[in-house]
Amino acid sequence: MADLIATYYYRPRADTTPEHAAQALADEETTGTWTDISTTTEYVRRLDGIVDSVEPQGNGYLTRIRYPAEIFEPGNIPQYLSVFAGNLFGLGRLDSVRLLDVEFPDVLVAPFPGPKFGMEGVRRLVGTTKRPHVGTIIKPKVGLTPKDTAAVAYEAAIGGVDLIKDDETLTSQAFCPLPERVNEVMSRLDEAKSETGRHVLYAVNVSTRADRILERAQTALDNGANMLMIDVLTAGFDAVRALAEDPSVKVPLHIHRTMHGAMTRNPEHGIAMRPFARLVRMVGGDQLHTGTASGKMGHVPIAEIRGDNEALLCRCYGLKSVFPVSSGGLHPGKVAAELAALGTDIVLQAGGGIHGHPGGTAAGARAMRQAADAFMEGVSAEEYAKDHYELAQALQKWGSSAEHS
């Protein structure tokens, strides 16, 4: 495939035909403008966007628009986005438009590094093959001191999590400076490893201004960080790329998608998660949040989340796969539904669903692991809880998805 193909859902303005609206979209994102101009020549016309198809879909239409690869500067993500996700969202001929997916030609993917580790590499670090990973977020989001953050991390680690991460709003504030926090957390994780023999990853949030993110990442690494986290939409795709391409960064990159709802939530307007997932894989993320089947942010159809995860996991472009992360309102009672819907190649990320356990953080971590183990053994959470006390406590507090199915 020599061209880039973007798929959009749109609703045309009442006085505009679906075909004219789709053509206006293609023109706006390539060579067109609102009136005839004298500077358009035949050699420019070869860069016109082409409307491949227009089909009815619900209250609107689906269109596939073909953009010549030559219109893109290979390797330039900001420029890519300006074409297939640029001014089109404000076009007067469209009442709404949503970018659903992007199919990239090899020539536009080739400049990017892809994941250094990918899902398989992260599994090797932790020592797993098929089971889902269990992770947690330090809660509360902000306010804890470095020592208290480390104490929470230690409890989660001895309870059995595979991953501990900062929340999206914690960077390097005065109450919890990054160097001290990383040093304290990694010291406690070493302690947990000596007790359990398990290698637990800590994704420290290094999101900051573009010209300082490598410096901040190096500070985290100097203090022992074994994973880095980036808020991709607020820091930018090239923030991830800068870390992925730097030879001194030899740890996986955990990618948070905070702010995505401003673009992904409206089913008729904005940008779906799929294009973001494809870009994160290209620029080098090893893990990416894609949503839950049963959590607190479950406004996205399960089929769409499955498709987003497949975009991360598929064998394509010669890039390593990305580990999907399911997070937002999860607890042990929802684990079976989550895994049944999304599969076991996933990270189950629970914050309140671990720290809110009646027995505390370590017990909450055990309950999440027990719920995952039950699923892998083909046993219901309720049955497994009969001889797993922590899971029983969790189900008593929060219930299970089976009760609401």
Does the structure show a pLDDT above 90 at 295?
no
Task: From residue 146, give the alpha-carbon distance in Å to each of 2, 180, 230.
Answer: 51, 6, 20
Token reading at 153: 């991390």
Q: What is the pLDDT of residue 377?
A: 98
pTM for this model (two decimals): 0.95
**What local confidence, expressed as pLDDT, does residue 405 receive?**
32
Is the pLDDT at 158 greater than 70? The verdict is yes
End-to-end CA distance of the chain: 43
Residue 403: per-residue pLDDT: 43
CA-CA distance, 340 to 320, in Å (whole number)?
24
Looking at per-residue pLDDT, the higher value among 32 and 312 belongs to 312
- Per residue in 330-382, pLDDT (tens digit) is 999 999 999 999 999 999 999 999 999 999 999 999 999 999 999 999 999 99
Query: Does position 400 have pLDDT exceeding 90, yes or no?
Result: no
Pairwise CA distance, residues 333 & 192, whole Å: 26
**Per residue in 8-65, pLDDT tens?**
999 999 999 999 999 999 988 876 664 565 555 565 566 788 899 999 999 999 999 9
What local confidence, expressed as pLDDT, does residue 38 receive? Answer: 55
Question: Is the four-CA dihedral 122, 304, 170, 81 of positive or negative sign?
Answer: positive
Residues carrying an active site annotation: 139, 256
pLDDT at 401: 74
Q: Which residue has the higher pLDDT, 40 or 75?
A: 75
Q: Which pLDDT value is given to residue 49?
A: 82
| Distance between CA atoms of residues 21 and 18, nearest Å | 5
Q: What is the pLDDT of residue 313?
A: 98
- pLDDT for position 213: 98
Q: What is the pLDDT of residues 221-257, one digit of tens each?
A: 999 999 999 999 999 999 999 999 999 999 999 999 9
Q: Is the pLDDT of residue 215 over 50?
A: yes
Give the three-class secondary structure for 109: helix
Report the pLDDT averaged over residues 188-199.
98
Q: Per-residue pLDDT for 294 more than 60?
A: yes
Please tell me the predicted confidence (pLDDT) of residue 296: 62
User: Of 336, 330, 401, nearest to 373 (Cα)?
Assistant: 336
Query: Which DSSP state fits 220?
Result: H
Dihedral sign of CA atoms 91, 94, 97, 102 in order? negative
What are the start-end ranges of the H helices in 106-260?
106-109, 118-126, 146-159, 178-196, 213-222, 232-235, 237-245
Neighbours of 78 (CB within 10 A): 10
- Tokens 């914690």 correspond to what residue? 170
Residue whose C-alpha is closest to residue 257's, from 202, 179, 302, 312: 312
By the 8 A CB rule, do 246 and 283 touch? no
pLDDT tens profile 129-148: 999 999 999 999 999 999 99
Alpha carbon distance 99, 8 (integer Å): 5
Domains of the chain, start order: 3-109 (3.30.70.150), 118-404 (3.20.20.110)
Contacts of 337 (CB under 8 A, 6+ apart): 293, 294, 401, 402, 405
DSSP code, position 43: H
- Among candidate residues 390, 252, 243, the one with its CA nearest the CA of residue 321: 252
**pLDDT tens per residue, range 78-104:** 999 999 999 899 999 999 999 999 999
Name the least confident of 22-31, 176-185, 190-199, 389-398: 22-31
The angle that helices 237-245 and 77-84 make with each other, rounded to 10 degrees, is: 150
Q: What sign does the dihedral 262-263-264-266 (CA atoms) show?
A: positive
**Residue 106 pLDDT greater than 90, yes or no:** yes
192/206 Cα distance (integer angstroms): 24
